[in-house]
């Protein structure tokens, strides 16, 4: 007879997730090292400032509950980085904020950095894909759609990984609450960045 089929346990899944996150972190770091040389000093300064601000706010709360109130500022600054510096802006901002925040998260460093980096990459890709800036002006509905999609994707991945690692209990109500809070903050943060850019920063934009 064939031996009974056994499913992988929680410890196996946790180890697999941690290994995958560490591999992704190394890959992102190598990509960043190649891309930084193509950035000018203004873009690096802006992303450093924005990344530090995100870190200061996130450091006050433990992960993943910081997502309940910090997504608004994070999306605002990532989106502004895109509008001011172009495609590389949110990626560098996410990397800097991720590195700073990861330095305070101990065993969660790889997860923290990976999610921060993913958020920046998604904002860059989706903002360009949706064409949030056209003819020198913000397209509000496209900006809302891009901000919502970025926040939902990162939020869902973060909560699933957190549940697998036993960082949060698997409670559907908590999942829905955190997703809803992140989605609303993402949309508002995107709109806020668009307003600030249109009123005050459009003259220093590459678009």
Tens digit of each residue's pLDDT (9 = 90 or more) over 41-66: 888 899 999 999 999 888 777 665 66
Residue 127 has pLDDT above 90, yes or no: yes
- The mean predicted confidence, pLDDT, of the chain is 82
pLDDT at position 42: 82
CA–CA distances in Å: residue 158 to residues 21, 64, 99, 119, 175: 12, 8, 17, 11, 10
pLDDT at position 15: 62
pLDDT at position 93: 95
Terminal alpha carbon distance of the chain: 67
pLDDT at position 139: 92
In the chain, where are the structural domains located? 10-200
Which helix (H) or strand (E) segment holds residue 133: the answer is strand 133-134
For domain 10-200, the CATH architecture is Orthogonal Bundle (1.10)
User: Which residues contact residue 174 at a Cβ distance below 8 angstroms, ignoring those fewer than 6 apart?
Assistant: 168
- Give 120's Cβ-side CA count (13 Å radius): 28
Alpha-carbon span 7 to 43, nearest angstrom: 48
pLDDT at position 117: 93
Q: Give the rounded percent of residues in the chain with a pLDDT score beyond 70.
A: 75
pTM of the model: 0.78
pLDDT at position 5: 45
Q: Please choose, from the candidates 167, 81, 181, the residue with its C-alpha nearest in 3D space to the C-alpha of residue 121.
A: 81
Between 194 and 5, name the one with better pLDDT. Answer: 194
9-45 residue pLDDT tens: 556 556 665 565 565 556 555 555 555 555 678 888 9
Alpha-carbon span 142 to 131, nearest angstrom: 7
- The predicted model gives 110-126 an average pLDDT of 93
- The predicted model gives 132-156 an average pLDDT of 92
């Amino acid at each position: 007879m064939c031996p009974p089929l056994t499913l992988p346990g929680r410890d196996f899944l946790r180890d697999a997730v941690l290994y995958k996150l560490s591999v992704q972190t190394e890959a992102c770091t190598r990509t960043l090292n190649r891309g930084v040389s193509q950035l000018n000093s203004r873009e690096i300064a802006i992303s450093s400032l924005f990344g530090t601000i995100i870190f200061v706010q996130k450091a006050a709360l433990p992960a993943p509950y910081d997502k309940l109130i910090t997504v608004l500022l994070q999306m605002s600054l990532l989106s502004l980085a895109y509008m001011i510096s172009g495609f590389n802006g949110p990626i560098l901002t996410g990397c800097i904020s991720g590195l700073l925040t990861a330095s305070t998260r101990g065993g969660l460093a790889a997860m923290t950095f990976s999610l921060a980096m993913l958020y920046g990459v998604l904002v860059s890709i989706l903002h360009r894909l949706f064409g949030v800036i056209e003819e020198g002006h913000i397209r509000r509905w496209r900006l809302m759609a891009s901000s919502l999609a970025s926040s939902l994707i990162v939020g869902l991945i973060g909560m699933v990984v957190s549940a697998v690692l036993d960082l949060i209990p698997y409670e559907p109500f908590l999942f829905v609450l955190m997703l809803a809070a992140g989605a609303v903050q993402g949309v508002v943060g995107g709109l806020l960045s668009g307003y600030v850019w249109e009123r005050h920063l459009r003259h220093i934009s590459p678009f």
